[in-house]
Amino acid sequence: MHKKITLTTVFAVLMALSVSLVSAQDRVQIRWFVGLGAGTDGPIIALEEAFVEDYNNSQDEIELVLEVVDNTQAFDVLNTQIAAGNAPDIVGPMGIRGRASFPGVWLDLDPLIESTGYDLSDFDPELVDFYRVEDEGQLGLPFAVFPYFMLYNEDLFDEADAPYPPQSYGEPYVDWNGEERPWNMETLRDLAMYMTVDANGFDATMDEFNPDDIVQFGYGTGYTDMRGELVLFGAGNFVDDDGNAQIPTVWEEAADWIYAGMWEDYFYPNGIYRTSDILGGDSGNWFDSGNLAMMPNHTWYLGWGTSNLDANGVGWNIAPIPAYEDTITAKLHADTFGIMASTDHPEEAFEVFSYMLDEGALELTQMYGGLPARLSLRDGFFETFEETIGQEDGDINWGVAEEGLSYPDIPNHEEGMPSFLESSDRYAETWDFIVQNPDVDVTAELEELRADLQAIFDSAQ
Amino acid sequence: MDFMAEFEATRSKSQQSAWRRLFQMKRGEWREARWGLIFISPWLVGFLLFYLVPMIASLWFSTLDFTLSNPEAAEFVGLANWRRMLFEDPNTWVSLGVTFLFAAISLPIGMISAFMLAVLLNSEDLMGKNLFRTLFYAPTMVPLIAAILIWSQVLNPQTGWVNRGLEALGINATGVDGLRWFDDPSLVYIAYTFIGLWGIGNAILINLSALQGVPTSLYESAKVDGASWLRRLWAITLPMVSPVIFYNLILSMVGLLQYFIVPWVLTNGDGSPQGTTRFYMVYFYKQAFTFQNMGYGAALAWLMFIVGIVITFFLFRTARHWVYYSGESK
């Protein structure tokens, strides 16, 4: 009897296993790699898993498999997977930097768009062209754009008795003396100095101010690299139209402004303070610390779990990006998904890709904090987004975010360069030196950077 | 006949007889040997698959222009990667120099600290020996990445405990002119060495076990002869534990040549400050995996392998002058 029961049990287990194996084998497995952009923060991963589960339950042809790799490691991991012939099928969301880091590995979507009759009419045609790369084809389709704006800490402004920054583009700033001033970099500098405070309560405009004991900073551009910090003064790239290395003049001026802000005016966090507890330690989340008055950033900062402003008791709102020499540059992040050219299942990957841009787009853009690239999905986006980030009663000035889309940086600050990763590594080294040292000849450093980039570009040819 | 000639003759004879024995084995002996081979085969297979074959493959890669993200386009370039590495790329020698400079600072400090702490923990006069042994070993059990992140904040220039403590003692440690452990080229190796000391528990343990193996009768005789503590340390302890010191030296040297995790976690390989932390393995990793130059990365890996072999060989050659094996006849 015992023997019979055992045999029956073993048989049942084998049957169950074989049924599940057959079921798994019937579906085409599509691997979705997340890590080159948004989507790797803890709270978001659970939402991504739920998205995948919903998708898998919605049909029985494809099994979508999620792979999340921390952003700091994602580039190396993807490289290794590609080299090992184990590349995923879909990668994203990713910005221009993510795409440019892997030249030649993306599938040209044109044949699939044509064969499936994919409707592009709901996208801004210019944004569609944004993903068309010469000699490589249509490497993506618009998924989301992430508007840029100035985040400010209302509590710190209230405490300093300083008026908030302007509430819309074109409005002047009325300062703490009641003086009306244009909302530009000079005004930003003065306001930021006023908002920078040492342990004794002196602000950076005062003679008694002690730069060795700062407890609150006025302004800093966080969560970006050298190009992202410099682009506030105007759009540019380190490579010119002829493929030569260059330092755009506005970027030289921006570097001087930031350097003075760090080491002379002390309103901009320098290397000493950037990873201190005052500004959130190694997290680099300066604004979340509650000790930074103003920081420009994109909607993704609010959307994918990076900020935790409510929990930290930071009262915040958003304002326009200030102008430099009458030109406003609100840098743009535009994300997409890419299908890898090495995929064995391009049709199925495109089906998932289409789902992400169509039925799943609203859920994903809310998750990542991006404004949907589909024009039909934009209405009412910010109302839903407020709910997503728990700001129903926040009275956030979202109009400024949408207005900011009118001032994109062209060329984009993440635009490609020859030997992209090596070039990026080189400029990061220069920026680190400038950020860490109070005795730097910025002009000489930038010239050295230009010469080194030229050498890298030359060797890439 | 001198010792080496005698040794070589014995070894040669022993090898010949081993081969002869293999071919002249009886059936029962062969069965026994076969089981031996089966038992060591997982290691042999592992060695072949995960060491020897990749090593040979990497030697081949070093002759290719091989981009990691586009392996199909790999192209044979002969010795171009080796020429670039040895004669054209200044970063090769800079990163090698950085590694040796750090080794020159960190190795003696690490080894002497581990040895002296072991001597202390072995002392008859120390109270609460077990407690101290546990405390000194405990940091080794903290995961390395976590320990590095903790240290990065402990040594933070503005809010770290070390600088705050020094400030409390009246030393100007914070602020613009303060002690910037990870950002000042003259301090960064000290900071890195400090982090390294946090994990010397294993070396202490090995030294301690060696110290406990030294016969106490030797110390007693020396004491009777009036030898001081320092004299006993120099004339008895050090020679008796020299094989263990040699062992630690080899492991530490190889470890330093492969020094990677600490700078990678702290700087993500950007070499800051001013290239002083662009250690060889960091440079290798960036070339191979970040910049995707796998062919060039393979050449860099082989150079480090050759350097490691040369140093190890050199250390073994010196060992005969200072390492004492009690069972050895000379």
| A212, A425, A433: residue with CB nearest B176 | A212
Structural domain of B201: 81-322
**A-B contacts (CB, under 8 Å):** 91
Residues of A in contact with B291 (CB under 8 A): 419, 421-422, 425
User: Out of A421, A432, A437, whose CB is closest to B291?
Assistant: A421
CATH of the domain at A107: 3.40.190.10
Using a CB-CB distance cutoff of 8 angstroms, which residues of chain A are in contact with residue B270? 425, 428-429, 432
Q: Which residues of B touch A277 (CB under 8 A)?
A: 153, 156, 158-159
Query: Which range among A48-52, A160-164, B14-18, B246-250 shows the weakest confidence by mean pLDDT?
Result: B14-18
Same domain? For A409 and A370 the reply is no
Supply the pLDDT for residue A223.
86
In a domain, A3, yes or no: no
A280 lies in the same domain as A223: yes
Residues A364 and A407 in one domain: no
Interface contact B174-A278, CB threshold 8 A: no
A80 Cβ under 8 Å from any chain B Cβ: yes
The minimum CA-CA distance between A75 and chain B, rounded to whole Å, is 7
pLDDT at position A10 is 57
Tell me the nearest-neighbour CA distance from A272 into chain B, angstroms. Answer: 6
Q: Indicate whether B5 belongs to any domain.
A: no
Whether residue A212 lies inside any domain: the answer is yes
Q: Same domain for B113 and B41?
A: no
In a domain, B4, yes or no: no
Domain end residue (candidates: A346, A379, A412): A379
Of A278, A281, A422, the CB nearest to B291: A422
Q: Which of A457-461, B143-147, B201-205, B309-313 is predicted least confidently?
A: A457-461
Question: Do B309 and B271 lie in a common domain?
Answer: yes
pLDDT at position A283 = 78
- CATH number for the domain harbouring residue B207: 1.10.3720.10
Looking at the complex, does the CB of residue A86 fall below 8 Å from at least one CB of chain B? no
Contact assignment for A76 to B289 by CB distance below 8 Å = yes
A253 vs A229: CA distance, rounded Å: 12
Last residue of a domain, one of A379, A412, A446: A379
Chain B residues whose CB is inside 8 A of the A425 CB are 270, 286, 290-291
User: Does the residue A392 lie in any domain?
Assistant: no
Question: Does residue A21 form part of some domain?
Answer: no
Residue B243 has pLDDT above 90, yes or no: yes
Provide the domain limits for residue A31: 26-145+335-379
Same domain for A255 and A124?
no
Same domain, B173 and B246: yes
**Residues A208 and A164 occupy one common structural domain:** yes
C-alpha distances in Å from residue A1, one per residue of A8, A12, A320, A404: 11, 16, 80, 77
Partner B contacted by A284 (CB < 8 A) = no
Residue B3 pLDDT: 45
In a domain? residue A431:
yes
Q: Under an 8 A CB cutoff, do A436 and B273 touch? A: yes
**Chain B CB within 8 Å of residue A443 CB:** no
Residue B102 lies inside a defined structural domain of this protein = yes
Q: Answer yes or no: do A98 and A43 share one domain.
A: yes
- On whether both A353 and A423 belong to a single domain, the answer is no
Best residue in A422, A439, A449, A461 for a mutation probing chain B (most B CBs within 10 Å): A422
Structural domain count, chain B: 2
* Chain B stretch 122-181, residues whose beta carbon is closer than 8 A to a beta carbon of chain A: 149, 152-153, 156-159, 174-178, 180
Contacts of A422 in chain B (CB under 8 A): 291
More confident residue, A399 or B30: A399
Whether residues B163 and B275 fall in one domain: yes
pLDDT at B175: 80
> For residue A13, is it within any domain?
no
pLDDT digits (tens, 9 = 90+) for B264-297: 999 888 888 888 999 999 999 999 988 888 999 9
Residues B254 and B304 occupy one common structural domain:
yes
Res B1 pLDDT > 50: no
Residues 6+ apart with CB under 8 A from A170: none
Write out chain A's pLDDT in tens, 461 residues: 555 555 555 565 555 555 444 455 579 999 999 999 888 887 789 999 999 999 999 999 999 999 999 988 898 899 889 888 899 999 999 988 888 888 889 999 999 999 999 999 998 887 888 788 877 889 999 899 989 999 999 999 999 999 999 999 999 999 999 999 999 999 999 999 999 999 999 999 999 999 999 999 999 998 899 999 999 999 999 999 899 999 999 999 999 999 999 999 999 999 999 988 899 887 788 999 999 999 999 988 887 656 778 777 888 999 999 999 999 999 988 889 999 999 999 999 999 999 999 999 989 998 888 889 898 888 888 888 888 787 777 689 999 998 998 898 888 898 888 888 889 989 999 999 999 999 999 999 999 999 999 999 988 77
The verdict on residue B74 lying in a domain is no
Residues of A in contact with B177 (CB under 8 A): 212
* Model confidence at B36: pLDDT above 60: yes
pLDDT per residue over B67-77, tens digit each?
877 777 889 99
Please indicate, yes or no, if residue A354 is contained in any of the structural domains: yes
Domain tally, chain A = 2
